Amino acid sequence: MAEKIKPYLFYTIMYPSVTKDKAMVMDQLLNVFDKYDKFVPTQWGDSEVTKIDYNRSEILEKVMNNKTSEVYLHRNNAVKYTAQFDLDLNVRSMFDLEVHKSMSSKFWPTFFDLSNEIAAISEPSYGITHIFWPPTIPWETDEQRLLRWMSLATLPVPVEFLPNGPLGVGMRTYFGGYVLEMFGRDFLMNTPAVVTELEWGGIRIDLSEKPWELELNELILIWSRVMDYLETSNVMAIPQFRDDKRGVLFSPNEVWKNYLKK
């Protein structure tokens, strides 16, 4: 019997727009992680390479005294993860959470709950929460091509997002601030998916009521339908599929080009 395909990554990335006090934001973020037993950090650091035992008061003291504006949280136990929070608000600032593929499926709903709470704090202009399934490289079928595209479009790191705009949607996607305005609230509310207006003013789009339960073929089908709709906005980045069927390049659409000129 063929081995069941398993996810290789659980990932959340958000571009915060919140302008609250940095120590207050960090305190709220730590509250979220401390709230869930399986997500309580075991280590932290103020750089990618620094790892010391988790000490909440030490983190808050450093942030409060402006001794660091970047905080990394780690957990070595199940569930394993690394989280990064850039507290200096600028266009490159991001909050992200990368959870190891070993996370049990019983914690998948908690992962999505946690992303909701991070979004409520960060009020992202654009954010994605997604479960990544291994793509076939090079792709051979249209479904495989779509999965490869989805895998890249749901990793909107600054080097891709800033010059090109939103690359795509994930299982759960957040729009707020200037990015929401580009699409238009009514346009996003009519997306053929599960759409929710959030208390902080943003919009959340889920590919289903419980996106973490989607089978891969369902996920690809719904994702493709949602992308077809959102692409009519002329905001989403334009994909160019490589001839070797291994990757996708992105370029800015009309609305994003105009934004970059400002």
In angstroms, the Cα distances linking 244 to 60, 89, 141, 152, 218 are 49, 39, 13, 16, 26
Q: Look at residues 143, 196, 149, 144 and name the one whose alpha carbon lies nearest to residue 172.
A: 196
More confident residue, 3 or 25: 25
List of E strands, 18-69: 43-45, 52-53
Q: Is residue 129 within a helix (H) or strand (E), and if so which, with residue range?
A: strand 126-132
Measure the CA–CA gap between 2 and 83, rounded to whole angstroms: 34
In angstroms, the Cα distances linking 49 to 40, 43, 145, 221, 240 are 20, 12, 36, 40, 35
What is the tens place of the pLDDT at every residue in 100-134?
999 999 999 999 999 999 999 999 999 999 999 99
> Could you state, in order of their start, the residue ranges of all structural domains in the chain?
9-19+89-261
Please give the angle made by the CA atoms of 136, 137 and 139, to the nearest 5 degrees: 70
Is residue 148 within 8 A of residue 220, CB to CB? The reply is no
pTM: 0.95
Residue 2: per-residue pLDDT: 41
What is the tens place of the pLDDT at every residue in 38-93?
999 999 999 988 999 999 999 999 999 988 889 999 999 889 999 999 988 777 88
Please give the angle made by the CA atoms of 42, 45 and 46, to the nearest 5 degrees: 155
Backbone φ, ψ for residue 261 (5° rounding):
-75, -20
